[in-house]
Chain A
Amino acid sequence: MNAIYILWLRQLKRFVRKKASIVGALGQPIIFLLAIGFGFSPIYAKAGGGNYIQFLAPGIIVMTVLFTSIFTGLEIIWDKQFGFLKETFVAPISRLEILLGKTLGGATVAMIQGTFVFLITLIAGFRPDLASLPLALLFLFLVAVLSSALGAAIAARLDDMQGFPLIFNFMVQPLFFLSGAIFPIKDLPPALSFITKINPFSYGVDGLRYAFNGANVFNPVLSISVLCGFTAVILAAGVYQFSKVQL
Chain B
Amino acid sequence: MQQTYQNKSFTGQERILELPLKKAFSIALQSIRVRFWRSMVTAAGILLGIAFLATILIRARMDAAGIAQGLLPKPDPEAMAAATSRNTWLVAMSLIVVTVGIANSMLMSVTERFKEIGTMKCLGALDAFVRRLFMLEAGFLGVIASSLGWLVGTLIMVIAGGFSKGWPVVGAVGIMGYLETFVWCVVIGTVLTLAATFFPAQKAASMPPVMALRSEI
Partners in one complex: no
Q: Please give the residue numbers on chain B whose beta carbons come within 8 Å of chain A beta carbons, in ascending order.
A: none
